[in-house]
Amino acid sequence: MRRFRNVKIVATLGPASNDYEMIRKLHEAGADVFRLNMSHGSHDEIRERHAIIRQVEKDLDSPIGILADLQGPKLRVGTFANDEEMLENGARFRLDLDETPGDVTRVCLPHPEIFQALEDGATLLVNDGKIRLKVLSFGADFAECEVINGGIISNRKGVNVPDVVLPLAALSEKDRRDLEFVCDLGIDWLALSFVQRVEDVEEARKLANGRAAILSKIEKPAAVKSFDDILAVSDGVMVARGDLGVELPVQNVPPIQKQLIRKCRRAAKPVIVATQMLESMIESPMPTRAEVSDVANAIYEGADAIMLSAESAAGQFPIEAVTTMDNVAKEVEADETYRDVIEASRSADRATVADGIVAAAREIAETTHIKAICCFTQSGTTALLTARERPRVPIVAMTSLRGTARRLALSWGVDCVMTGELERFKQAVVSAAHAARSRGYATEEDQILVTAGLPFNVPGTTNILRVAPCAERLIFATDPE
């Protein structure tokens, strides 16, 4: 399944996309990674979708990444005697631990940890920020608030607390059960919701125990403040603009998105831009111009992947949504301005031999007639470093590990090809030439670049770079080994 674009597409599965035919069509239309949202669906449903993805992967001989997105701690108000109430601006409203159904003056907030962390003047947001409350006074079991922005409040609406770091673990008991289930099932990426601190990521990594790569969702102001430290212990990042746009002024989100993308690229770690990218396509076969511009901007900024949520999970036009993203990506990446932006933002601290090898590979490829960079990788690091360079030629990642190929499905420009275990560099060159020809990147008259590490099958040993002809008979005739 060769793609004619570099940015990857993540599609969320749900009621609109839960059978073999639809999932296969989504992959053929352009979805590189499928997201399993653990906030919805039973373990049996998740297991069934996972099995279908793996069957599609087998039938199409195309590595597919699977990302399991944990729900995280959900903060919600209790219920109301009348199911909903209208809060007026300037009115007083109390949140407490009393489970009695609420009214226009109060409601239960069954989260004592919130009251423990509050400060005078703190802001509480209800129902995706539509209702804004200012804390006037508080105790261990209550908060007296003034309604700053009123509106209808109803049963079990979500609550955000943007001003303080809550004493909450990123993993609830449900998350721990879900984590163990999906890791045993065999997913490739584990997304952590509502990360606030480094310890949240470290806890998940310990529990995953190498069974999945860890992706931190940045959707809390505390995570933005501690981003450098969180990035250092994460394998990838999702810029989750939904809750981030609730807890921060909306005008802050675009510059934060740009900053996080650049930091992820410098660290050679994949970054997904998510939330409301083609929201109108839940109900319409055509996106708005603003949505297309939003998708395009994320691509111009250098994101590794862009994501569909409800558009593919519950929308009426999941195939059209993926196709739209695919078309926008192709158009943007064909724009010379895109190359100007990508190359102007190239910045990396090159401190290792591997850094130098991939930088040299990109430089050689772009100043000669090289058709592809073929990198042999076990852990995926060489491919990630090559992707960081954002070369103008295709990146073909060669690996004998299916899990590595699946994880790299999330990385910019990386086309993964399975290969057997190798013992000699000659075999690597022959395999790379065959892959480049079979994928349509080169002909026998062309040349490719091959990077690898000797000895083979040892992670972190990238130390060799060769320009090689793309014809097997020439390889055998000229290879001195």
DSSP readout, 62-83? ---EEEEE------B---BTTS
Distance, in Å, from the CA atom of 115 to the CA atom of 135, rounded to the nearest integer, reads: 10
Distance, in Å, from the CA atom of 476 to the CA atom of 479, rounded to the nearest integer, reads: 6
Distance, in Å, from the CA atom of 372 to the CA atom of 433, rounded to the nearest integer, reads: 10
Catalytic member of 24, 132, 157, 217: 217
Q: Are 463 and 454 in contact (CB under 8 A)?
A: yes
C-alpha distance from residue 408 to each of 220, 287, 438 (Å): 27, 29, 20
Region label for 111, one of left (φ > 0), alpha (ψ between -120 and 50) or beta (otherwise): beta
| Sign of CA pseudo-dihedral 460, 466, 470, 472 | negative
Catalytic member of 76, 211, 402, 426: 76
Distance, in Å, from the CA atom of 125 to the CA atom of 87, rounded to the nearest integer, reads: 13
Is 275 annotated in the active site? yes
Is 12 annotated in the active site? no
Can you read off the two tokens belonging to residue 201?
Answer: 């990521």
DSSP summary character for residue 454: S
DSSP summary character for residue 411: S
Q: Are 458 and 378 in contact (CB under 8 A)?
A: yes
Is 439 annotated in the active site? no
Q: What is the largest CA-CA distance in the chain?
A: 85
Residue among 444, 438, 443, 445 at smallest CA distance from 415: 438
Catalytic member of 157, 241, 275, 362: 275
Is 94 annotated in the active site? no
DSSP summary character for residue 108: E
Distance, in Å, from the CA atom of 3 to the CA atom of 326, rounded to the nearest integer, reads: 9
Quick check: helix, strand or coil at residue 480?
coil
DSSP readout, 111-141? -HHHHHH--TT-EEEETTTTEEEEEEEEETT
Catalytic member of 35, 220, 269, 388: 35
Q: Residue 41 corresponds to which amino acid? A: G
| Bond from prior residue into 455 cis (ω within 30 degrees of 0) | yes
Distance, in Å, from the CA atom of 37 to the CA atom of 70, rounded to the nearest integer, reads: 7
Q: What is the helix (H) or strand (E) element at residue 336, kind and residue range?
A: helix 336-344
Q: Residue 309 corresponds to which amino acid? A: S
Buried b (16+ CB within 10 A) or exposed e, 52-91: bbeebbeeeebbbbbbbbbbbbebebbbbeeeebebeeee
Can you read off the two tokens belonging to residue 96?
Answer: 């407490």
Active site residues: 35, 76, 217, 275
